[in-house]
Amino acid sequence: MEPSDRPARSGRGQAPDGVQGVTRPDDVSAPDPGRERWRATVRAKAVAESPERRARFVSTSGIEYRDLYTPADVAGLDEDRDLGRPGEYPYTRGVQPTMYRGRLWTMRQYAGFGTAEETNARFRYLLEQGQTGLSVAFDLPTQMGYDSDAPESLGEVGRVGVPIDSLADMEALFAGIPLGDVSTSMTINSTAAILLALYVAAAEKQGVERGRISGTTQNDILKEYIARGTYIYPPRPSMRLVTDIFEFATAELPRWNTISISGYHMREAGATAAQELAFTMADAIAYVEAAVSRGLDVDAFAGRLSFFFASWSELFEEVAKFRAARRMWARIVRERFGASNMRSMACRFHVQTAGSSLTATSIDNNVVRTTLQALGAVLGGAQSLHTNSRDEALALPTEAAARLALRTQQVIAYEAGVTETPDPLAGSYLVETLTDQVETAAWRLLDEIDAMGGTLAAIEAGFQQRRIQESAYLTQREIERGEKVVVGVNKYRDEEHASAPTLRIDPAGERAQVERVRSVRAGRDRAAWEAALRRVEDAARGSDNLVPPILEAVHAYATVGEISDRLRSVWGEYREHVTI
């Protein structure tokens, strides 16, 4: 049998330590005389008459697609061991027993721009159009811990998200939206503890008890060092903030997802599907290790961890990636960390369609791309989904474009027939084989990270960054050579490009935001504000959990920039070490 015909099947073998102590696929081959006969006769004749389009057909992860998939490729498949049933370990087929037969995924469109009032209006519009959860985009100053009137913020206020400086802004952002009834995802990392405190404070001012507050803070700082760059502090104090949120939410916010461990941004930076999966799992392992070393019981917090993946247009590989993610996480949590609660082992994830796949020319093609990507997320069993808008390669989405993106999800949900049974592609010779192959490729990368001393050591050595850069370079080279077709860009270009209306951010919004933060500072109780900020700094210098003093500070109307500056004064700022 040819090497490419050896399917990777999930075996039971154990290796000695670390990640290698977790079950991973074994190579099990099965002979297939029927395929060999077909290759020597029917296929050989067809290829002689009309050669195939390419010498090799390869996925984004470098997995070569076979000329034919047969039962031999899944000969080693053990349903109980490798798949389970929906809602059963290892969750390959889904984390809920009924999946979308019982409840559809949360349609959670990402939004934020201009001012808190403008974003509030967009939230209300999307909810009226059938959206079922909120997802907040914050502007860069908020993400980086600067107030809107800071010199570093000039020209960036409200541009790529909503500016939030103080509790006054958070109250305006959710005015008229009952925070006890809606779940909110917040894409925030370095300042996640502050924004979570602001959200809790805003809910409390609405009269909502902490036990009713539901949502997610992204809170994934490691991927910022790998791929995105909106870090503030060095990695180790940043990890302390992450685990402080774990600890606080475990005790105070039982319905809050404490982190969304994100492969999305690594994929957007150029990672392959297998790299996205491996590096996300490596980060997740680091977070669990940090929390366990703090003294937290894995079963006390792991059930509130969630994940965030990208969905690209290569449909079957994406479905395989999502299925492999569930299986890998279940085994990591049970076999490496000794979890016994089944909820701890369930990999629940949000998906966003691929922003970097969108093109600025022929933008209607983006609707087709997004539809394929959304379909892959649904077939792969996502718990929530954001579909990008057709115009996002040009600007933030207009209201009409955002509505069409939401309608894309609704058509898939109600008209495509793909929600009628869990994991509808299960048993496909191709999908089951790809699931194992993507998983195998991810385990190899995890072994390399483990051998380097773990995720933080690998990040400090630039391992993940280099691998992603290499993959991005190879993809761009394939596009420039025409080996990888991007419709409307390097092939099938439209002669005429219709102009599309784009969303424009009014500069007056920045001026209004600056006036608001200054007004907040002028009107607060100075003594309470000073005392609260001192407690934040004292906690940062010591070992107390930082979330309670930060919560006290935001109630005293301390700003995001002021709290971040107190932490900067203790921990300093991180500067990436670039080696040439």
Query: Do the Cβ atoms of 192 and 238 come closer than 8 Å?
Result: no
* Structural domain contains residue 239: no
334 and 425 assigned to the same domain: yes
* Structural domain contains residue 335: yes
Q: In whole angstroms, give the CA distance from residue 333 to residue 325.
A: 12
412 and 521 assigned to the same domain: no
409 and 433 assigned to the same domain: yes
207 and 307 assigned to the same domain: no
295 and 344 assigned to the same domain: yes
Alpha helices in 20-179 (DSSP H): 33-38, 44-49, 116-128, 140-144, 167-173
Could you read off the pLDDT tens digit of each residue along the chain, which spans 580 residues?
Answer: 333 333 333 443 333 344 556 776 664 558 899 999 999 999 999 999 999 999 999 999 999 999 999 999 999 999 999 999 999 999 999 999 999 999 999 999 999 999 999 999 999 999 999 999 999 999 999 999 999 999 999 999 999 999 999 999 999 999 999 999 999 999 999 999 999 999 999 999 999 999 999 999 999 999 999 999 999 999 999 999 999 999 999 999 999 999 999 999 999 999 999 999 999 999 999 999 999 999 999 999 999 999 999 999 999 999 999 999 999 999 999 999 999 999 999 999 999 999 999 999 999 999 999 999 999 999 999 999 999 999 999 999 999 999 999 999 999 999 999 999 999 999 999 999 999 999 999 999 999 999 999 999 999 999 999 999 999 999 999 999 999 999 999 999 998 776 778 888 889 999 999 999 999 999 999 999 999 999 999 999 999 999 999 999 999 999 999 999 999 999 999 987 655 4
Residue 416 corresponds to which tokens in the numbers above? 């495509």
- Tell me the one-letter amino acid at 290: A
- The single residue listed with the structure tokens 């960036």 is 156
364 and 408 assigned to the same domain: yes
67 and 117 assigned to the same domain: no
Q: In whole angstroms, give the CA distance from residue 469 to residue 275.
A: 11
For residue 135, give the CATH number of its domain.
3.20.20.240
Report which secondary-structure segment, H or E, holds 445.
helix 429-451
- Tell me the one-letter amino acid at 269: A
Structural domain of 280: 1-101+259-455
301 and 405 assigned to the same domain: yes
211 and 267 assigned to the same domain: no
Query: What are the C-alpha distances in Å from 39 to residues 67, 232, 413?
Result: 9, 57, 40
* Structural domain contains residue 513: yes
Number of domains in the chain: 2
Give the 3-state secondary structure of residue 191. Answer: coil
- The single residue listed with the structure tokens 């760059």 is 229
Query: Do the Cβ atoms of 235 and 223 come closer than 8 Å?
Result: no
Residue 491 corresponds to which tokens in the numbers above? 């092939």
Q: Which residues contact 49 (CB under 8 A, 6 or more apart)?
A: none
Query: Do the Cβ atoms of 140 and 224 come closer than 8 Å?
Result: no
Give the 3-state secondary structure of residue 262. Answer: strand
Q: In whole angstroms, give the CA distance from residue 186 to residue 274.
A: 26
- The single residue listed with the structure tokens 């990591």 is 332
128 and 89 assigned to the same domain: no
